[in-house]
């Protein structure tokens, strides 16, 4: 029986497995064993961007005929699942830093997308997180590569301690693989790829935002390292349709577009709202469900600042996930923080069941509503589309 860190030891299936003396191992341990069986394994780590980057790398290797096995933290639209069993000798998987799970892996290629303070329930501070990422990077064999985003300050901080061959990517002029001439148009973008000073060609994406340009650069870097032709890489990324719960358009009714996103960290929220602004709607209505009491407590003020890019903010109560309540911690902390930093229109609706109806009373044609959080906030977006449809605003659906 394989279980993830999200499953408590009190889970009845786990308890029954122990009772029957069935072998029980953690997901990261099983993933490490799978990686050892493959000729090439690619692990994608980082505070943000893991799921999309992993999916993009999978798309590139699939287009290149390498038939990879793919293990992702979200449902990939082109696959219809969070996993794909390939027939080739390549494995692409997310490497989760939570609970130091990624230290059980020794990938041939270790990607590091971002590095910030997160999971402070299992790390003492940012310095301890950096130490863990250095250890992860140096588990790469001498013949492999570390692929790291040079634009990220936290990543820059650890690079002097990385002892394996390094490929950097980003918008920085010093990156080995970089994007130039970046242009955005609605949900799409295009950019020129320059690798080792040589222009490679243009890449077009149908997933919005500068953060997705960087995610694509990670996939391009891995593809080039594994000798996938650039034309094949470009074709794969142009066809890439995204991942469920990552800026997923749920529908549009009466001129109100509803989008759902997994963003649950201040930096992710900021990147998502910046991407939303590029789409060109009149107003952005952010509907946020904080995830974890400890994260809400630790990052309340940063959450408040991250929502300044929205025109309206509606906050509901915390999704507890694996935690019990903490005294004085609720979604009101985020509402209060947003007001303190100058947000002009903020609401707090504690009862999630009333949230869709409340938002329906705020929106008008031209708005984009974005439900945000790692819990079950996506249900509110679907309920909102239903309410707007019943009000006679138009037809729902994507």
What per-residue confidence (pLDDT) applies to 398?
41
What per-residue confidence (pLDDT) applies to 118?
80
51 is catalytic: yes
H/E element, 265? none
- Judge if 2-239 and 248-390 fold alike in CATH terms: no
pTM attached to this predicted model: 0.88
What is the helix, strand, coil percentage profile of the chain, to 5?
35, 25, 35
371 is catalytic: no
* C-alpha to C-alpha distance for 300 and 183, rounded to whole angstroms: 33
Report mean pLDDT in 10-residue bins for the chain, 398 residues: 85 94 91 90 93 96 96 80 88 88 91 86 86 94 96 96 97 97 94 96 95 97 97 97 90 95 93 92 96 94 96 96 90 96 96 95 96 95 95 55
Query: Tell me: domain 2-239, CATH 3.40.1190.10, correct?
Result: yes
Q: Phi and psi of 74, rounded to 5°?
A: -150, 170
Contacts 24+ apart (CB under 8 A), 393-398: 393/253, 393/254, 393/255, 393/256, 394/252, 394/253, 394/254, 394/255, 395/253, 396/251, 396/252, 396/253, 397/251, 398/249, 398/250, 398/251, 398/252
What per-residue confidence (pLDDT) applies to 395?
46
345 is catalytic: no
| Residues whose CB is less than 8 angstroms from the CB of residue 291 and which lie 6 or more positions away in sequence, other chains included | 264, 318, 319, 321, 373, 374, 375
Q: Exactly one of 47, 51, 54, 69 is catalytic; name it.
A: 51
Q: Phi and psi of 386, rounded to 5°?
A: -65, -45
Q: Exactly one of 63, 94, 252, 309 is catalytic; name it.
A: 94
Nearest 10 degrees: Cα torsion 290, 294, 300, 305: -70
* C-alpha to C-alpha distance for 206 and 202, rounded to whole angstroms: 14
* C-alpha to C-alpha distance for 33 and 105, rounded to whole angstroms: 8
At the topology level, CATH places domain 248-390 in 3.90.190
Q: Exactly one of 50, 130, 250, 352 is catalytic; name it.
A: 50
Q: Where are the chain's structural domains?
A: 2-239, 248-390
């Amino acid at each position: 029986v394989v279980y993830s860190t999200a499953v408590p030891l009190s889970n009845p299936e786990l308890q029954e497995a122990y009772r029957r003396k069935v072998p029980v191992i953690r997901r990261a341990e099983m993933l490490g064993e799978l990686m050892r069986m493959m000729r090439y394994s690619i692990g994608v780590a980082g505070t943000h961007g893991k799921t999309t980057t992993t999916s993009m790398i999978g798309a590139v290797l699939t287009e290149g005929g390498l038939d990879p096995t793919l293990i992702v933290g979200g449902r990939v639209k082109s696959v219809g699942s969070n996993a794909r069993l390939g027939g080739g000798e390549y494995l692409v998987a997310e490497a989760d830093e939570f609970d130091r799970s990624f230290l059980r892996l020794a990938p041939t290629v270790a990607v590091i997308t971002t590095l910030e303070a997160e999971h402070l329930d299992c790390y003492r501070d940012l310095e301890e997180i950096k130490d863990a990422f250095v250890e992860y990077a140096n588990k790469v064999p001498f013949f492999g590569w570390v692929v790291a985003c040079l634009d990220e300050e936290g990543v820059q901080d650890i690079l002097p301690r990385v002892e394996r061959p390094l490929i950097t990517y980003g918008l920085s002029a010093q990156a080995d693989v970089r994007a130039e001439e970046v242009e955005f148009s609605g949900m799409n973008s295009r950019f020129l790829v320059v690798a080792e000073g040589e222009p490679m060609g243009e890449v077009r994406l149908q997933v919005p935002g500068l953060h997705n340009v960087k995610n694509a650069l990670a996939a391009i870097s891995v593809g080039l390292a594994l000798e996938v032709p650039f034309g094949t890489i470009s074709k794969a990324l142009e066809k890439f349709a995204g991942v469920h719960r990552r800026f997923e358009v749920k529908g549009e009714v009466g001129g109100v577009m509803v989008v759902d996103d997994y963003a649950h960290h201040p930096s992710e929220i900021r990147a998502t709202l910046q991407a939303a602004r590029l789409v060109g709607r009149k107003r952005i209505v952010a509907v946020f469900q904080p995830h974890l009491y400890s994260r809400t407590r630790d990052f309340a003020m940063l959450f408040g600042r991250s929502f300044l890019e929205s025109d309206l903010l509606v906050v509901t109560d915390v999704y507890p996930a694996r935690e019990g309540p903490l005294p004085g911690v609720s979604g009101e902390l985020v509402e209060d923080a947003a007001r303190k930093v100058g947000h002009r229109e903020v609401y707090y609706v504690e009862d999630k069941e009333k949230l869709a109806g409340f938002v329906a009373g705020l929106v008008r044609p031209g708005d984009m509503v974005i439900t945000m959080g790692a819990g079950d906030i996506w249900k509110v977006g679907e309920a909102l589309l239903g309410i707007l449809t019943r009000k006679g605003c138009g037809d729902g659906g994507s």
